[in-house]
A and B are shown apart, each in its own frame.
Chain A
Amino acid sequence: MPRPITLKDHYRETRVFARRSVVALSLVFLLMLALIARMVWLQVFQYEKYRTMADENRITVEPIGPTRGLIMDRNGTLLADNRPHYAVSITKEQSPDINATITHIGELIALDDALIDRFHKRLQQRQRPNTPVALKFKLTEEEIAIIAVNQHRLPGVTLDAYLVRHYPWNDMLSHAVGYVGRINEKELQTLDATNYSGTEHVGKTGVEAFYEDQLHGTVGFQTIETDARGRITRVLERTDPVPGADLMLYLDLPTQIAAVKALDGRRGAIVAIEPSTGGVLAFVSMPGFDPNLFVTGIDYKSYQELQDSLERPLYNRALQGQYPPGSTIKPIMGLAGLHYGFTDWGRSIYDPGFYKLDNDNHYYRDWKKWGHGVVNLKTAIVQSCDTYFYDLAFKMGVDRIHDFFLPFGLGKRTGIDLPNERPGLMPSRAWKRAAMNQAWYPGETLIVGIGQGYMLSTPLQLALSTAILANRGKMVHPRMARLVGDDPTIDDKPMEQIKLNNPQDWDATIDAMRDVIHSATGTARGINQDLTYDIAGKTGTAQVVAIKQGESYDASKLKEWHKDHALFVGFAPVKEPRIALAILVENGGGGGSAAAPVARQVFDAYFESLAEDQIDNTFTGAAAP
C-alpha cells in the first residue's frame, strides 16, 4: 500500500513524550493530593458532624408502653383485661404507591372511607419515618389469613400484633369500670409526655379513669439500632416498662349481674355498699353501652346514636343522676326529729289526708287520699305517711334538716373513687339566698320533709346514707377499689360516728324500717315471702317534676316519662348488715311495687354469692376474709 512518506523525528517524539509523561504524573500526584485533602476534610475536620449523623442514622430511642393493669371483682373474676389483636399496617417508605396498596387491601378485606380517612390522619401525625401506621384494627381470623396469604403482593404491608383493652361483661359494667380510649389532643397536654410516649390509650371514665396513674404503669425505653429500612438490627440498651398495677374491686360480679337482670331493661340505677367497709358491691346504671366500642375508636354514627338516644345510655345515673329522694329519707328525717327533740316514739298525730299551714290556703296532700288516721313515728315510717313528716319538718325547720342530713353523705360529693360525681342538693336558707337570692318559704320545708322540692340526691348518696344508717351512725367512705396492686386503698380520714342524743333511736328506727318489709302494713311487704334473712328498708316514689323542653316530641313516650320514679333503700341482715343498697327505677311507678322487688333480687344474689364464697373457702381451707 503506497503511502506518503512522513519524516518522523524520533528523538523529538521521545522527548515530547517524556515531558508530557512527567506533566501527567505530576498531575496524577496533585489530583491524588486533592483526594486526600478531601478525605482529610471529611474525616478529620468534619468527623464530629458525620459521626453524629451516622449515629442518628442508626440509633433510635423507642418507648415501650407498659401493659395496663387488670381489673377484677372481689372474687378475682376479670372485668377488664388485655387481649392480643392484629392490625393491618402500612409503612409508607416501603410502599411504592400507598393509595394503590390501600385499594388493593380494600379488595381483600372490607375497608370503608372513614377507616381510610383516619389512616391518613394517623399517617400525618406519625413522628418517625419508616414506622408502620395501622389501617384497620381488630382483624378477624379470616382477615388475618387473607392478608397473610397476599402479603407478598402488598409491599410495605404488615400484620402487627397489639394488646387491646377488653371488657368481657360489655354493658353490665360500663358505668362502673368505664373504658379506655385513644388519647386525644386535650389529654395530650395534661398527660406526662414521657410516661405516655409508648401509650395510645388512656382511661376515660369510671375506675379506668380514676385509677389511670396506677393502672398505666411506667414506660420503658429501648435504644435500638435500625438499618436503612427501619428494621431493628439489635437492641443496644433496654429499660423494661413497669406494668400497671392490677385493681381488685369490692364489686361482686354475681350481684352486679343479678342487679342488671332485676332491672329487666328498665332505666334505672342500683348501688350496693358493704356497710362495714364502704366497698361498692354493685354499681349499675342502665341502660349501659358496650365499652369495647370506645377502645379502638367508635365511629361517628354509632356515637351519635348513643349520644342522641332518649334512653341516655352514656349517662351515669348512679353517680350523676340527681333525683328527688322521696320517702326514702323519712327514717333519717325521723332520727332528726328525735335528735332535736321535736318528736318521740310515743307522740302521735291525726292524719286527715292533708296538712295545712295556718296562713296558707295550700293543701299539702298525703299520698293516701283519705289519710292514715292516727299515726306515730313508727307507723309513719312503715306506711310512709306524708302528713306526719310535713308536720315534723315544719317544726324542725329546713336548716336543722340540712345540718342533720349532711353527715349521712347527702347534699355533697361522697368522694367515691370515680370521676365526675355530682353533689346532689341539700337545701337550706343560706343556700336559697345564695343561689336564688330569695327568702325561704315555710311551705318549701314541708315538701323537703318528704324528700321532694329542692332536695336532690344521687343513687350513690342514697346507698351511702343507708349504709351509715345500717352502721348505726358509723360513717364510711364509698370505695370501688379494694386493692391497687397489693396495697389496700386506705381511707385518709378515720371513721366518725354520728352521735344521737339517744343512741337507742338507731335500733328503734331500724326496727320501723324492718316492719316496712316484714309487717302486714309495710309498703314493701310484697317482697317478704320465703326470706331466709331479714331486711330493713324504705320505699320511695319521686314525682317527676318536668321533662326538659325539646328532648322528645313523642307523645306516648312523653306520657311514660311523666310517671313517677320508683325508689327503694334498704339493708340486710338487720342485725349485722352485710349489704346496703339504693334502687332507682326511672318512671317505674311506686317504690313498693317497682323498686323493692329489684332490691330483693339483689339481696338474694349477694347472699347466695357469699354462701358460695364460704363453701369455696371451707373447701380450700382458706380463712374467710
Chain B
Amino acid sequence: MNQDFPFRLDALRNPVTRRISLSQAVHIDLPLLGGIVVLICVGLFVLYSGSGQSMDTIVRQLSRFAVGMAVMLVLAQIPPRTYKRWTPWLYGIGLGLLVAVLVAGAEAKGAQRWLALPGFGRFQPSELMKLMVPLMVSWYLSERSLPPGWKPVLLASALMLVPAVLIAKQPDLGTALLIASAGFIALFLSGLSWRYIAGLVVAAIPAGAGLWMVMHDYQRQRVLTFLNPEMDRWGSGWNITQSKTAIGSGGIEGKGWLNGTQAHLDFLPESHTDFIIAVLAEEFGLLGVCALLLIYFAIIARGTYIAMNAQDTYSRLVAGSITLTFFVYVFVNIGMVSGILPVVGVPLPLVSYGGTSAVTLMAGFGILMSIQTHRKLVPT
C-alpha cells in the first residue's frame, strides 16, 4: 500500500492531467452531500409540522445535524485503510460496552440501552455497533477468499449475531434486527451462496417460532397488532390504525402543510419521531411520499455507485452494507407505519426527530465519502 504516496504526489505535480477537484481534496462527495442536505431540509419541514410547530424542536434537530455533519466531515478525512486497521479493536470495545450496558446500564422506558459516561452524558453503545458490525464483517470477509465457504459464513454470522442478541436483550428488537441485517448484507454482497440463502429462509420458520418463545410480552403484542390491527382499535391497534388513517386521508395531493388533522389533534402517536412519514403522507399526499422515496433512492444509488467503484474488497463491502442498511431503515420504517410490517422502533432516517441515530447515519456517510475520495486516481 506504500504506492499510495507517489501517486498522490504525481497527481499534485501535474494538475492538468491528474486533475483533482476541491471537493475531492477536502474528501467530500458532492452528489451524496447534496442528497443528504435535500433530505434534511424536507425532513425539517415535516418535523416542524409533526412536532406541533415547535421551533424549539427544529433548533435542537438542527444542532444535532450540525454535530452529525462535523462527524461526517471528520470521518471522511480518515483513509479507509485506517478504518480497516482499527475495525477489530473498535468492534471489541463495542462488544464490551454492550455487555457493560446489560450489567450496569441506565434504564429508561423499561429498557436498558444507555451507559452513563461522567462528563459526556449518556451514550448508547448499540449505535456504535450499527457501524461496527458491517465494518467487522467486511473486515473479516475481505481477508478471506470470496465467495466465502461455510466456515467463514458461520464465523461472520457469529460476529453479527452476538451483538444482535446482546442488543435484543436490552431489549431493543428494532436495532438488533438492523444490526443483524447490516451484517447479512455484507455477507450477501461478498457472494454468499444462494443455497445458503435458501437454507436460511427454510430455517427461518422454526427460528421464528423460537423467537416467539423468547419475545417479551410487548413485542408479541406488536406482532399480534400487526397481524390484525382492527382487533383492538382503541388499545394496542390504535397507533397503526391512526397512522393508516393519516396516510389514507392524505389522498394524492395531501391536506397541505400544517393542515394534517391526525397529527395536529394528537390522534397520530409519535408524530415527530417514528411515525413522521404519516405526517408527510397526510399533508403532502402520495406525491410527497413519492418525492421522499425518490430522494432516498438517489442517496442509495449514489452509495451503491461508490461501493461498486471502491478499489478494495473491504471498502466495497463496507460501502455496500452501509448504503443498503440505510435502505433497510427506510423500508422497515415506512412499512411499519403503513401497516405492512410489524411495529418495531425504527426511525425514518434523517427525518425523524432524534439525536443519536442521525449522528450514526451521518458517520456512516462520512465513511462512504472517505471511500470515494481516497481512491487511487486511476485515469478513466
Which A positions have Cβ atoms within 8 angstroms of B?
Answer: 6-10, 12-14, 16-18, 20-21, 24-25, 28-29, 31-32, 34-36, 38-40, 42-44, 46-47, 49-51, 53-55, 57-58, 129, 225-229, 233
B-side contacts of A40, CB under 8 Å: 286
Q: Would you give the shortest CB distance from A26 to chain B, in whole angstroms?
A: 10
**Chain B residues numbered 201-246 whose CB sits less than 8 Å from any CB in chain A:** 234, 242, 244-246
B281 touching A35, Cβ below 8 Å: no
A228 touching B293, Cβ below 8 Å: no
Known: A32-B297, A39-B289. A51 touches B251 (CB 8 A): yes
A43 touching B331, Cβ below 8 Å: no
A-side contacts of B234, CB under 8 Å: 129
Known: A35-B331, A233-B265. A43 touches B145 (CB 8 A): no
A37 to B346, CA, bound (A): 21
A-side contacts of B297, CB under 8 Å: 28-29, 32
B248 touching A43, Cβ below 8 Å: yes
A28 touching B245, Cβ below 8 Å: no
Interface presence of B190 (CB below 8 A): yes
Interface presence of B313 (CB below 8 A): yes
18 additional A-B pairs beyond A36-B293, A44-B251, beta carbons within 8 Å, are: A12-B146, A16-B146, A17-B191, A17-B313, A17-B320, A20-B189, A28-B297, A32-B293, A34-B340, A35-B335, A36-B289, A39-B281, A39-B286, A42-B248, A43-B248, A54-B249, A57-B265, A227-B265
B-side contacts of A12, CB under 8 Å: 146
B293 touching A227, Cβ below 8 Å: no
For B248, give its contact among A7, A50, A129 (CB under 8 Å): A50
A53 touching B249, Cβ below 8 Å: yes
B-side contacts of A51, CB under 8 Å: 248-249, 251
A55 to B262, CA, bound (A): 9
A-side contacts of B300, CB under 8 Å: 25, 28
A43 to B316, CA, bound (A): 39
A50 touching B245, Cβ below 8 Å: yes
Known: A32-B297, A42-B244, A53-B245. A17 touches B188 (CB 8 A): no
**Chain B residues numbered 315-359 whose CB sits less than 8 Å from any CB in chain A:** 316-317, 320, 324, 327, 331, 334-335, 338-340
Known: A42-B247, A42-B338, A43-B247. A58 touches B313 (CB 8 A): no
Q: Would you give the shortest CB distance from B318 to chain A, in whole angstroms?
A: 12
Interface presence of B87 (CB below 8 A): no
Interface presence of B56 (CB below 8 A): no
For A13, give its contact among B242, B250, B313 (CB under 8 Å): B313
A24 touching B248, Cβ below 8 Å: no
A57 to B300, CA, bound (A): 38
Can you list 10 A-B pairs, Cβ within 8 angstroms, ordered by A? A16-B147, A17-B320, A20-B188, A25-B301, A32-B331, A38-B340, A42-B339, A47-B248, A47-B252, A226-B265
Which B positions have Cβ atoms within 8 angstroms of A?
Answer: 143-147, 185, 188-191, 234, 242, 244-252, 261-262, 265-267, 281, 285-286, 289-290, 293, 296-297, 300-301, 304, 307-308, 313, 316-317, 320, 324, 327, 331, 334-335, 338-340
A13 to B317, CA, bound (A): 11
A14 to B335, CA, bound (A): 33
A24 touching B144, Cβ below 8 Å: no
A38 touching B338, Cβ below 8 Å: yes
B245 touching A54, Cβ below 8 Å: yes
B261 touching A24, Cβ below 8 Å: no
Most buried by A among B245, B261, B317, B335: B245
Q: Would you give the shortest CB distance from B31 to chain A, in whole angstroms?
A: 16
A17 to B339, CA, bound (A): 33
A49 to B249, CA, bound (A): 8
Q: Would you give the shortest CB distance from A93 to chain B, in whole angstroms?
A: 9
Known: A6-B143, A36-B290, A57-B261. A16 touches B249 (CB 8 A): no
A25 to B126, CA, bound (A): 27
Q: Which residue of A lies closest to B289 (CB)?
A: A39
A182 to B59, CA, bound (A): 55
A76 to B265, CA, bound (A): 48
B251 touching A13, Cβ below 8 Å: no
Q: Would you give the shortest CB distance from B33 to chain A, in whole angstroms?
A: 21
A-side contacts of B316, CB under 8 Å: 14, 17
Q: Would you give the shortest CB distance from A127 to chain B, in whole angstroms?
A: 16
5 shortest interchain CB distances as A-B pairs? A50-B248, A54-B249, A16-B191, A227-B265, A228-B266
For B247, give its contact among A14, A18, A50 (CB under 8 Å): A50
A46 touching B248, Cβ below 8 Å: yes
For B251, give its contact among A6, A43, A57, A129 (CB under 8 Å): A43
A-side contacts of B289, CB under 8 Å: 35-36, 39, 43
Q: Would you give the shortest CB distance from B333 to chain A, in whole angstroms?
A: 10
Known: A43-B247, A53-B245. A24 touches B324 (CB 8 A): yes
A-side contacts of B144, CB under 8 Å: 6
B338 touching A21, Cβ below 8 Å: no
For B327, give its contact among A28, A38, A225, A228 (CB under 8 Å): A28
A18 to B317, CA, bound (A): 11
A14 to B191, CA, bound (A): 10
Q: Would you give the shortest CB distance from B246 to chain A, in whole angstroms?
A: 7
For A50, give its contact among B244, B286, B304, B340 (CB under 8 Å): B244
